[in-house]
Structure 1
Amino acid sequence: MLELIPWTSLFGGILLGVSAVLLMLVNGKTAGISGIVNGIIIPRTKDWAWRVLFVVGMVIGGGVAVAYGHFQAPDLTTTPVITIVAAGALVGLGTKIGNGCTSGHGICGIGRLSPRSIIATCIFMAVAALTVYLRLHV
């Protein structure tokens, strides 16, 4: 079982909040990862460069956190590739159906007091809790 380290979680939350505010101030954009990635995959405007830089920064930041921050990346060596692909596809489908992801609704939407985002985040969290319960107890 992983130890709960509230200071690390608090620092991570602060970084997420600061990055969301900075993106809104600098670009006027919401830091919803599904929307950012969607804008890379299906470019509708010529603003894809900042999207690519944002995603590259997240990947590099995650790598630095694992390499130097004493964080452990999940071990997926025993997980079948089809399971990983199916999980990714389901997440993509869910963000399309939910019209956004946890970062867009949970961080930015709630910060803007969006009723749709508050409801979506409550649903995300309820489904996550149910999934953990079923995974561990059934």
Structure 2
Amino acid sequence: MEWHSYLAGLVGGVLIGLSATWLMVTLGRIAGVSGIIGTLVTARPKGDSAWRLAFLLGLVSGPLALVIAGGELGNVLGRPEAVIGEPAGGVALMLVAGLLVGLGTGIGSGCTSGHGVCGLARLSPRSMAATLTFLITAMVTVFVVRHLIGGGA
């Protein structure tokens, strides 16, 4: 990994922190993506949709602007020149994984952005427990897939 990868990660982390802080200071809201999407899709409180749509458009427009400017989104399936390639495990596996992530965010009352970024910054015990659960689950999943099942790199 070259130094510009570390720099890109640092800049990205700072921007995520600044955007979460800005949302908290200006609107008093937590930048939890699952909650933002969930409330936009299901609850639709009156007058509360504009900032949610703007937030989600910002999530999508950032990577698109990077690609338009000639940047790369990273190494996809071992092909550095690829921007977005087919899922490593196939489309069906990705759909199941996406549904499980959605189920998990519902059970955990949030996702890594809400708990891991905003909740930890506020020293929330519930967010600390949720983030530890996310991390431990991810580590066990990687171990099982790479060492017990034998898939992945």
TM-score of the two chains, using structure 1 as the length reference: 0.89
Partner deviation per Cα, 1:21-63 (whole Å, 9 max, x = no partner): 0001111100000000001111241201211111011011122
Show the counterpart of 1:104: 114
Query: CA, structure 1 residues 78+129, in 2 after alignment: closer, same or farther (shift >3 Å)?
Result: closer
In the alignment, the residues of structure 2 paired with residue 127 and residue 78 of structure 1 have an alpha-carbon distance, to the nearest angstrom, of: 20
Q: Which residue, 65, 68, 71 being the options, matches 1:69?
A: 71
Secondary structure of 2:43 counterpart: coil
Identity of matched residues, %: 44
Show the counterpart of 2:91: 81
**Greater mean deviation of Cα atoms: 71-80 or 96-105:** 71-80
Instruction: Confirm or deny: 8 A CA contact 2:116 2:128 kept in the other structure.
Output: yes
Query: CA, structure 1 residues 78+31, in 2 after alignment: closer, same or farther (shift >3 Å)?
Result: closer
Unaligned runs of at least 5 residues, structure 1 = none
Residue 133 (str. 1) matches residue 143 (str. 2): yes
**Greater mean deviation of Cα atoms: 77-86 or 6-15:** 77-86
In the alignment, the residues of structure 1 paired with residue 44 and residue 65 of structure 2 have an alpha-carbon distance, to the nearest angstrom, of: 32
Show the counterpart of 1:39: 39
1:80, CA displacement in angstroms? 3.5
**Could you list the runs of 4 or more consecutive aligned residues of structure 1 that deviate by over 6 angstroms after TM superposition?**
none
In the alignment, the residues of structure 1 paired with residue 133 and residue 88 of structure 2 have an alpha-carbon distance, to the nearest angstrom, of: 30
Q: Which residue, 84, 88, 100 being the options, matches 1:90?
A: 100
